Chain A
Amino acid sequence: MLKLIVPFVLLFGAIFLVVESDDPDPPADFTFINRGDVTTLDPQRMSWMQDLRVARLLFEPLVRLDVMTRDYDIVPGVAERWEVSEDFKEYTFHLRADAKWSNGTPVTAQQFVYSWRRALLPETAADYTALFQTIDGATDFFEWRSEQTRQYAIRARDLTAEQKRIESQKLWEEAIAYFDEHVALHAVDDRTLTMKLTASTPYWLDLCAFIVFAPVYEPLVSQYEQIDPDTGLVKLQLGWTKPPLLISNGPFTLENWRFKRSLFLRANPLWWARDTLDIETIAIPSVEDSNSQVLAFESGSVDWVSDVNADYRIQMLADKQAFYDENREQYEALKAQGLDAFSIDAALPDDPRKNIHALGAFGTYWYNFNCKPTLPDGRENPFHDPRVRRAFSMCIDKQRICDDVMRIGNQPARNMFPPGAIAGYESPAGLPCISDARNEAEKQAIIARAKALLAEAGYKNPADMPRIELLFNSDGGHGIVAQQLAKDWEEFLGVRTFLAQKEIKVYKDDLKKQNFMTGRAGWFADYADPTTFLDLNRTEDGNNDRAYSSPVYDGLLDQAKLETDPDKRLAILAEAERLIMEEDLPLVPLFYYVNIYLFDPDEVTGISNHPRLQQDLFNVDMLGDGKGRDQVKHITSKDLN
């Protein structure tokens, strides 16, 4: 018996030792659960919301957006001031003298050139490389480099190892020379950065505030870039984004990053605006399960859950509504004062029900229509005809989808942009749908119009249409929306729809190959200009899964590029949006996304509820912790001050 017990005792001892030797992070001033695990902290390569959110704490671009203002004011970042030419084509930035990296060296204009060049190399795999191509000559460089390396890969097959080493190095030096000569991005001196753009871009400052435009520390990163002799491509070695190696220039520094466990950030003493910070440390534990996220909040170990997905969030939101109803009088009075939702919550009596917050996000949920005449397997695609797309778009009860299916407070969408998200932009009215009808007669009129459109398109009897297929991916609760949509079309048009649920990779593949008739999709905006959505429907755009191609539409977007008057430019873009939202309908918007937060407004302040819904967590202050100013932060407006 002893023989058997000995190994077990030894094992228990070993487990005890392993666990006890672990060194957990100390408690942080502010702890939050991010939208998902951070995949990369390389600013040029990132595109996930959770990565961007952490990067905004670690890095600082030329300018920043003040998310606590109503108009998202552009405020100085690494650049202390800038000049913009009248046609919005030439920008000059003057870098501040006290902008420093976390190792104490100054941030220079040359480092911006280096970082932005990285984003323009095809092999960096920067998801946002297209945004950098706004710079004059950048597209040319990107294509030139793609072609050069493609040819090299073929040539290299016949070279010896030593030849490959020399040739690939030469190819790289040529690329740098080509960049310096052709791309209109220059470091005039250490603290002056100039750039010329291909077209009038009034929103360029907004882009420069986007964190993928942040600089990386060249002496470090360049050591991790090696030329691969076989392909001639720059091969990025991993490791420099992790502590203690990472050198950054933002409000916080990364003290610890443990895979699938946690990130730990500490205020950067060398950041030029260090005085504005009200917290010292931030912890971001990795909690994937949506129930566990809520439990973590309820047990008090987490201050903010940034994306509540537990199924019972619907009940939680209903409880919140009940709480408002109980305090109706006080609520209305606070609202009349012009306070934002979080400030109202903070002023209401203490109650756990007020910790849940549903907020409109800068994103839209829609269904794509395949605009090609046939499917890859040769079948006829009825949605090729814009009249069919219009008819189907009209016969959707969007309000019912929001109220009965989603049930988390989404607003039905008639066009691509959530209202109020883009200052100065007026979205078109859009195509009316079933839920826009105020009475039964109007509803019947909409249905009659839709049926007439189908008849014009050659489908006198909708039931005789070819089998309509609706594509969606299996996870994320898209199934119930798809079912409701199919039900709407059957109820209003008499069309039977076949639901095709596919695993996410297959679904993506089908969308890319136009192997669908209509399919689930959506988009979150990257910057505050209509082109962030409108470019998706350009004929040649890589994200144009609909294969929509309209010379008129493309022409309007081109025309907007040439227009130097910002107001006229927005008017042209609104006309382009009208074209796709009222006539051509390559996609039908269903509703605007809602994001659900969980935090106690009596404890946490500095979270923004602007419709663009970006969170810069260096604004956060924990109320009553004795650190920082400990005052509720309200969203401010220039007009009010």
Chain B
Amino acid sequence: MLGLILRRLLQLPVIILAIYTITLTLSWAIPGNPLEKSDGRQPPAEVIEAMKRQYKLDSFPAFYMSYLKSATGIEYLGDTLSGKRAREREQAEAAGVAPPTAYVFNLGPSLQYNDWNVNEIVSTSLPVSVVLGLSAILIALFIGITAGVVGAVKPNSLADLTTLVVALIGISLPSFVVGTLLLLVFAVLFPVLPVGGWGTLDRLILPAVTLSLPFAAYIARLTRMGMIDALSADYIRTARAKGLSETKVLLKHALKNAFLPVLSYLGPATAYAMTGSFVIEKVFSIPGLGQHFVNGVLNKDLFLIMGVVLIFATMLVLFNLAVDVLYRWVDPRIG
């Protein structure tokens, strides 16, 4: 187990470097000038030129290396060793103001949100996405497993068909429709929940439910399939023959095995729920990470794209690792 974890963690930097190289190459090729605004006033050519020099946007290799240096902390280390940071701190203290924040892993400034570093953007929006994504997955598990078990106990019954139809709707209805409908019902017609925003539990309910539906639908189908398989297995017959109660048979024996495919789906699903909530973030005004994938690319905000992609890649690797570990814990046969 420890070997597996170590091996995966050692692979991580290599994977991240490859993703970095590919993503930067692709983002670099996006047409348009990242320093130009999508609308409104354009700065003069001299300004664009000076900014290109400042951000090293005039040369791919220079940008590639300088971003790598600052994002990996090499630059921070260099500044500390050369005494540059100590000097800055002294100057600021002498002037009586707070010194600029120095990030160890500096992901650079956002070119679109002029006042924000990518570090700040990620550190404020990642927790939001994690909370929203996890809540959605938990709700999805609850709904999905319940529906799956109900369907599997009596295949092709009315209950089974109902869950199938609901699952189909959950997968097919786009989340902006579900989200807006929920808002209309629970915030405007019967104002029991707030319209949107973030920061309290009641604001979490509608977006988490909306986000969970497609996952719940998928989990329901996976569980149903697994349960039907498991219920026809010999050990279930043995369990029933032993005289165990049906609940115990279903939940303790059958579900445990039926859960394995769900578990392997959970890794990528969790990562996706945490970052792929672009539409939900928009509908419910949630300051999450998902929107930056889309907006970053649309604005060719190189620093922002690189920041969120690297974070997402790291998360994906770590979640898959977590699922593998969980797998071994739940099912000791795999090893």
Seen from chain A, the residues whose Cβ lies within 8 Å of a Cβ on chain B are 1, 3-4, 8, 11-12, 14-16, 18-20, 22-24, 37-42, 45-49, 122-123, 125-130, 142-143, 146, 149-150, 153, 161, 219-220, 222-224, 226, 228, 231, 233, 235, 237-242, 245, 258-262, 285-289, 291-292, 295-296, 298-299, 301, 503-506, 508-509, 512, 524, 526, 542-543
Choose among B53, B113, B195 the residue that contacts A295 (Cβ–Cβ < 8 A).
Answer: B195
Known contacts A42-B114, A149-B50; is A289 also within 8 Å of B42 by CB? Answer: no
- How far does the alpha carbon of A512 sit from the alpha carbon of B44 in the complex, in Å? 12
Interface status of B333 (Cβ within 8 A of chain A): no
Closest chain A residue to B44, Cβ basis: A542
Residues of B contacting A543 in the complex (Cβ-Cβ under 8 angstroms): 41-42
Closest chain A residue to B113, Cβ basis: A39
Closest chain A residue to B198, Cβ basis: A261
Closest chain A residue to B93, Cβ basis: A223
- Whether B285 and A37, one on each chain, are in contact in the complex, defined by CB atoms closer than 8 angstroms, is no
B245–chain A nearest beta-carbon distance, Å: 14
- Whether B50 and A22, one on each chain, are in contact in the complex, defined by CB atoms closer than 8 angstroms, is no
Interface status of B104 (Cβ within 8 A of chain A): no
Known contacts A143-B46, A231-B54; is A22 also within 8 Å of B259 by CB? Answer: no
- Whether A129 and B188, one on each chain, are in contact in the complex, defined by CB atoms closer than 8 angstroms, is no
- Whether A22 and B51, one on each chain, are in contact in the complex, defined by CB atoms closer than 8 angstroms, is no
6 closest A-B pairs by beta carbon, nearest first, are A505-B32, A260-B287, A237-B100, A40-B114, A24-B199, A127-B41
Residues of B contacting A504 in the complex (Cβ-Cβ under 8 angstroms): 38-39, 298
Known contacts A259-B287, A299-B191; is A8 also within 8 Å of B200 by CB? Answer: no
Interface status of B251 (Cβ within 8 A of chain A): yes
Residues of B contacting A130 in the complex (Cβ-Cβ under 8 angstroms): 44
Residues of A contacting B88 in the complex (Cβ-Cβ under 8 angstroms): 226
- Whether B138 and A223, one on each chain, are in contact in the complex, defined by CB atoms closer than 8 angstroms, is no
- Whether A223 and B134, one on each chain, are in contact in the complex, defined by CB atoms closer than 8 angstroms, is no
- Contact stretch, chosen from B119-127, B219-227, B229-237, B305-313: B119-127
- Whether A261 and B113, one on each chain, are in contact in the complex, defined by CB atoms closer than 8 angstroms, is no
- Whether A508 and B98, one on each chain, are in contact in the complex, defined by CB atoms closer than 8 angstroms, is no
Chain B CB within 10 Å, residue with most, of A48, A219, A292:
A292
A372–chain B nearest beta-carbon distance, Å: 18
- Whether B44 and A233, one on each chain, are in contact in the complex, defined by CB atoms closer than 8 angstroms, is no
- Whether B50 and A41, one on each chain, are in contact in the complex, defined by CB atoms closer than 8 angstroms, is no
A102–chain B nearest beta-carbon distance, Å: 13
- How far does the alpha carbon of A274 sit from the alpha carbon of B95 in the complex, in Å? 29
- Whether A129 and B113, one on each chain, are in contact in the complex, defined by CB atoms closer than 8 angstroms, is no
List 17 additional A-B contacts (Cβ < 8 Å) besides A19-B199, A292-B285, A295-B187: A12-B138, A22-B198, A37-B113, A40-B113, A42-B115, A125-B47, A125-B50, A161-B82, A223-B91, A238-B115, A259-B113, A260-B287, A289-B283, A292-B183, A295-B196, A298-B188, A508-B32
- Whether A18 and B127, one on each chain, are in contact in the complex, defined by CB atoms closer than 8 angstroms, is yes
Residues of A contacting B98 in the complex (Cβ-Cβ under 8 angstroms): 239, 245
- How far does the alpha carbon of A286 sit from the alpha carbon of B199 in the complex, in Å? 13
- How far does the alpha carbon of A186 sit from the alpha carbon of B321 in the complex, in Å? 64
Q: Give me 26 A-to-B residue pairs in the complex whose CB atoms sit less than 8 angstroms apart, sorted by A's number.
A: A14-B134, A15-B135, A16-B201, A38-B115, A39-B112, A122-B50, A125-B43, A127-B37, A129-B43, A223-B97, A226-B88, A233-B50, A238-B109, A238-B117, A239-B101, A245-B98, A259-B116, A260-B125, A260-B291, A261-B124, A292-B195, A299-B191, A299-B195, A504-B39, A505-B299, A508-B36
A10–chain B nearest beta-carbon distance, Å: 11
- How far does the alpha carbon of A146 sit from the alpha carbon of B49 in the complex, in Å? 9
Seen from chain B, the residues whose Cβ lies within 8 Å of a Cβ on chain A are 30-33, 35-47, 49-51, 53-54, 82, 88, 91-92, 95-101, 109, 112-117, 120-121, 124-125, 127, 131, 134-135, 138, 141, 180, 183-184, 187-188, 191, 194-201, 204, 251-252, 255-256, 259, 282-285, 287, 291, 298-300, 329-330
Residues of B contacting A258 in the complex (Cβ-Cβ under 8 angstroms): 124, 287
- Whether B46 and A122, one on each chain, are in contact in the complex, defined by CB atoms closer than 8 angstroms, is yes
- Whether A509 and B188, one on each chain, are in contact in the complex, defined by CB atoms closer than 8 angstroms, is no
- Whether A19 and B131, one on each chain, are in contact in the complex, defined by CB atoms closer than 8 angstroms, is yes
Residues of A contacting B39 in the complex (Cβ-Cβ under 8 angstroms): 504
Known contacts A231-B53, A287-B196; is A19 also within 8 Å of B204 by CB? Answer: yes
Choose among A48, A223, A505 the residue that contacts B300 (Cβ–Cβ < 8 A).
Answer: A505
- How far does the alpha carbon of A513 sit from the alpha carbon of B50 in the complex, in Å? 20
- Whether A295 and B30, one on each chain, are in contact in the complex, defined by CB atoms closer than 8 angstroms, is no
- How far does the alpha carbon of A123 sit from the alpha carbon of B53 in the complex, in Å? 9
Residues of B contacting A41 in the complex (Cβ-Cβ under 8 angstroms): 115
- Whether A259 and B125, one on each chain, are in contact in the complex, defined by CB atoms closer than 8 angstroms, is yes
Residues of B contacting A508 in the complex (Cβ-Cβ under 8 angstroms): 32-33, 36, 38
Chain B CB within 10 Å, residue with most, of A130, A261, A298, A543:
A261
Closest chain A residue to B288, Cβ basis: A260
Residues of B contacting A8 in the complex (Cβ-Cβ under 8 angstroms): 138, 141
Residues of A contacting B198 in the complex (Cβ-Cβ under 8 angstroms): 22, 261
B254–chain A nearest beta-carbon distance, Å: 11
- Whether B131 and A15, one on each chain, are in contact in the complex, defined by CB atoms closer than 8 angstroms, is yes
Closest chain A residue to B116, Cβ basis: A259
Residues of A contacting B92 in the complex (Cβ-Cβ under 8 angstroms): 223
A204–chain B nearest beta-carbon distance, Å: 19
Choose among B194, B298, B330 the residue that contacts A301 (Cβ–Cβ < 8 A).
Answer: B194
Residues of B contacting A241 in the complex (Cβ-Cβ under 8 angstroms): 115
Known contacts A127-B40, A223-B91, A238-B109; is A285 also within 8 Å of B32 by CB? Answer: no
Closest chain B residue to A543, Cβ basis: B42
Closest chain A residue to B283, Cβ basis: A289
- Whether B329 and A509, one on each chain, are in contact in the complex, defined by CB atoms closer than 8 angstroms, is no
Choose among A39, A150, A238, A260 the residue that contacts B49 (Cβ–Cβ < 8 A).
Answer: A150
- How far does the alpha carbon of A23 sit from the alpha carbon of B196 in the complex, in Å? 16
- Whether A142 and B330, one on each chain, are in contact in the complex, defined by CB atoms closer than 8 angstroms, is no
Residues of B contacting A45 in the complex (Cβ-Cβ under 8 angstroms): 114
- How far does the alpha carbon of A258 sit from the alpha carbon of B134 in the complex, in Å? 22
- How far does the alpha carbon of A545 sit from the alpha carbon of B235 in the complex, in Å? 76
- How far does the alpha carbon of A421 sit from the alpha carbon of B170 in the complex, in Å? 52
- Whether B40 and A219, one on each chain, are in contact in the complex, defined by CB atoms closer than 8 angstroms, is no
Closest chain A residue to B145, Cβ basis: A4
Residues of B contacting A296 in the complex (Cβ-Cβ under 8 angstroms): 195-196, 285
Residues of B contacting A14 in the complex (Cβ-Cβ under 8 angstroms): 134
Closest chain B residue to A19, Cβ basis: B201
- Whether A223 and B95, one on each chain, are in contact in the complex, defined by CB atoms closer than 8 angstroms, is yes
B334–chain A nearest beta-carbon distance, Å: 15
